Structure 1
Amino acid sequence: MAVGEKKSVAEGMTRTELDKAESKDFALGGKPMRPRDAATLILLDRSGSDVKVLLGRRHHKHAFMPGRFVFPGGRTDPHDSRVATVTTLPPEEEMRIAGHHARASRARARAIALSAIRETYEEAGLLIGERGAFASTRPGWQGFVEHGVSPSLERLRFVARAITPPGRVRRFDTRFIAAWRDDVAVALPDGGPTNELEELCWLPVEEAKTLEIPAITRTVLEELQARLATDPELRPGAPAPFYRMLRNRFVRDTI
């Protein structure tokens, strides 16, 4: 595994400074676009003395974060909101995941959270939920049907939000959602069906920060480290950072 540049993004950066920090993470250019909802799952293993996190490397041909180690995740599918679950999101987490604006809704929060679970199955072969009969006609959920796993939302935790700055060929409004490894009901030995991530690895958070990871990923890992130090159970409703460009400055709000 290669060692990255150890760069993070920081509050107060200008657009130029941010472009330089993220120059190897994104293809620049493209027309102005509104960011699309996306979901990323930070899967944590607390079985040892150090909390470990799951990361996988994206193929070098991707325009978005090529060759970088990332958490499983992807663009939100609104239809995921209709997938049945055995438990629901904690109320304290629900609206923070949806976002406090006109398009915020319980269905939107469910879609974002369930997209994170689905993407973790597709990219890493890990099915989060509870053993039991599960039915769905949605193509992305047939692995849960085949393996008898009903997705569960109760222990998901919102830990950060970040909007891709303008000037990239892809823009996402990403929610970083944490879950625990012991919530994985089935782990497929050959990984997920999409093969989008390679070199899947579990690493202590401090070591994960030395990989070739996007600058925003390193920032989120630093935020997560600080939270785990005082809130190891990741209690529902705890304050979380929100990163975005505002008036040519990269700002950090707390939500």
Structure 2
Amino acid sequence: MSDKGAHKADLLTEDLKHRNEIRHAPRTPRDAASLLLIDRSQSTPRVLVGKRGKKHAFMPDLYVFPGGRRDPGDNRTPFAWPLHEEVEGKLMERTNSRFRPTAARGLAVAAAREMLEEAHLSLTPAEYAGLLRPDVSKFRFLARAITPPGMPRRYDTRFFACFTDETSADLSALSDSDELHDLSWVAIDHHEEYPLPRITKVILTDLCQAMKEDPSLPFGRAVSFYYFRNGRFVRELI
């Protein structure tokens, strides 16, 4: 692990040590997906976040990327345009034999669906108006993180990234929902005024580093994988 990777893993471990939540019996993580929608029209790219409500059992009152768990129907939802083959290949790595390509594709659908439900931004091209037929061809696979044991909810989340100018989304339709409010575009390297979960900050750090290396975010780049082992968060590359 690099020094930067070790530092981020230490931050995650320290954050866990200082949590006050009641410990819960072990739960199997549920597949989930989030989408970092990036506006690169300004000198510093910005990403969309929204605030979760006080009554949420998972990360209440914190700003997060739109996203949520993969629903069974997501696996059966067709694309307008499919995932890049390198992205789909990366999604299949470090998974068990029960994880099928349909589940990998379902994660991309989940990310697009949650963006529609939580921020009212549709990634479905106009010719499929009224249907959920997302164009996920420009989705990059940025990172993966598994919620540590003992939390009230556990997710195995895949974080996708996509640029606004590569989508058909009508940004004027952006509006709050029951799931997320105070939707905001925050600079990827300057977000101190927003209360973000530690993992969200880490993913933003990954994004900043990736865009410094190559602002186009190549589809086949290495993916950070964060998970909990022997009392510590670790970071590996997929």
TM-score (norm 1): 0.83
Mapped to 2, the partners of 1:231 and 1:87 lie a distance apart of 24
What SS class does the counterpart of residue 120 from structure 1 fall into?
helix
Q: Does residue 181 of the first structure (1) align with residue 164 of the second (2)?
A: yes
Residue of structure 2 in register with 1:157 after alignment: 140
What SS class does the counterpart of residue 189 from structure 2 fall into?
helix
Residue of structure 1 in register with 2:45 after alignment: 51
- Find 1:90's aligned residue among 64, 84, 89: 84
| AA partner of residue 214 (structure 2) | D
Q: Does residue 124 of the first structure (1) align with residue 124 of the second (2)?
A: no
Residue of structure 2 in register with 1:10 after alignment: 8
Q: Does residue 40 of the first structure (1) align with residue 34 of the second (2)?
A: yes
Q: CA deviation at 1:133?
A: 2.8
8 Å Cα contact 1:132/1:150 also seen in 2: no
Mapped to 2, the partners of 1:12 and 1:88 lie a distance apart of 36
8 Å Cα contact 2:34/2:68 also seen in 1: yes
| AA partner of residue 158 (structure 1) | F
- 1:138-217 matches, cutoff 5 A: 144-145=130-131, 150-182=133-165, 183-187=167-171, 189=173, 191=175, 194-217=177-200
What SS class does the counterpart of residue 60 from structure 2 fall into?
coil
Mapped to 2, the partners of 1:28 and 1:120 lie a distance apart of 30
8 Å Cα contact 1:162/1:242 also seen in 2: yes
CA change 1:12–1:204 in 2 (3 A) is closer
* RMSD (CA atoms): 2.2
| AA partner of residue 110 (structure 1) | R
Structure 1 gaps of 5+ residues are 1-8, 135-143
Q: Does residue 66 of the first structure (1) align with residue 60 of the second (2)?
A: yes
8 Å Cα contact 1:56/1:198 also seen in 2: yes
What SS class does the counterpart of residue 158 from structure 1 fall into?
strand
Runs of 4+ in 1 over 4 A off after TM superposition: 12-15
Matched positions, count: 231
| AA partner of residue 56 (structure 1) | G
- Find 2:16's aligned residue among 19, 23, 26: 19
Mapped to 1, the partners of 2:11 and 2:173 lie a distance apart of 42
8 Å Cα contact 1:126/1:184 also seen in 2: no
Mapped to 1, the partners of 2:134 and 2:172 lie a distance apart of 16
Q: CA deviation at 1:244?
A: 0.5
Structure 2 gaps of 5+ residues are 1-6
Mapped to 2, the partners of 1:185 and 1:210 lie a distance apart of 27
Mapped to 2, the partners of 1:115 and 1:52 lie a distance apart of 22
TM-score (norm 2): 0.89
Task: Work out the percentage of aligned pairs sharing the same amino acid.
Answer: 38
| AA partner of residue 181 (structure 1) | T
